[in-house]
C-alpha cells in the first residue's frame, strides 16, 4: 500500500472553519464515500439571544490601551469589593471617568478619591490624570 495514501486515510477529517481544506483527504473521501459536494461542518445551534449578545458586545466603543490597562489594575487599586461595582470608562482631557453601579459605592469612591488620584498619578505618570469623574451607571 502506498505510504502517503495510508497516512491520509488514517487522519480524521478536519473542521473546515478552523483550518485550510486538505485536498488530498477530500479526494480520497469523495471516491470512498461517493460524495459530490463537501459535507457541511458540524455547527452548534445557538439561540438568537446569544448571537445578539455577542453582536452587541462587539459594538461597544473601541477602548484605548490605557483604559484596558487601568481596568486590569483596577481591583488592585481600589480593592476587589469596590472594583466589582465600578470600572474606568474613559480618559479624556486628563480626567478619568469612572462608572459606578450604585450611589453607595459612588460615595465610597468619593471618600477615597484623593488617595486614589495620588495612586494613579504615581503609578501611571504618563497618563497625566488630574481629576476623577464619577458617573452612575444604570444596569
Residue 58 in domain = no
Query: Is 19 among the domain residues?
Result: yes
**Which CATH number goes with the domain that contains 80?**
3.30.300
* 42 occurs within a structural domain: no
**Residue 46 belongs to a domain:** no
49-91 confidence digits (pLDDT tens)? 888 887 777 666 656 778 888 888 888 888 888 888 888 888 8
Structural domain of 120: 65-136
Confidence of residue 136 (pLDDT cuts 50, 70, 90): confident
The answer to whether residues 83 and 127 belong to one domain is yes
Within a domain: residue 27?
yes
Query: How far, in Å, are 3, 22, 127 from residue 123 at the CA level?
Result: 62, 51, 9
Q: How far is CA 88 from CA 56, 79, 129, in A?
A: 20, 14, 12
The reported pLDDT for the residue numbered 12 is 52
Angle between helices 23-33 and 3-10 (to 10 degrees): 80
CA–CA gap between residue 74 and residue 37 (Å, rounded): 53
Residue 15 lies in a domain: yes
As for how many domains the chain has, the answer is 2
d(CA 111, CA 134): 12
Amino acid at each position: 500500500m502506498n505510504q502517503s495514501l495510508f497516512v491520509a486515510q488514517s487522519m480524521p477529517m478536519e473542521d473546515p472553519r478552523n483550518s485550510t481544506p486538505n485536498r488530498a483527504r477530500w479526494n480520497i473521501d469523495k471516491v470512498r464515500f461517493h460524495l459530490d459536494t463537501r459535507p457541511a461542518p458540524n455547527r452548534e445551534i445557538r439561540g438568537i439571544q446569544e448571537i445578539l449578545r455577542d453582536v452587541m458586545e462587539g459594538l461597544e466603543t473601541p477602548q484605548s490601551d490605557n483604559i484596558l490597562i487601568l481596568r486590569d489594575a483596577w481591583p488592585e487599586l481600589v480593592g476587589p469589593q469596590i472594583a466589582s461595582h465600578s470600572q474606568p470608562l474613559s480618559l479624556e482631557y486628563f480626567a478619568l471617568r469612572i462608572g459606578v453601579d450604585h450611589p453607595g459605592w459612588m460615595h465610597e469612591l468619593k471618600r477615597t478619591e484623593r488617595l486614589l488620584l495620588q495612586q494613579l498619578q504615581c503609578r501611571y505618570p504618563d497618563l497625566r490624570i488630574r481629576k476623577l469623574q464619577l458617573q452612575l451607571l444604570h444596569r
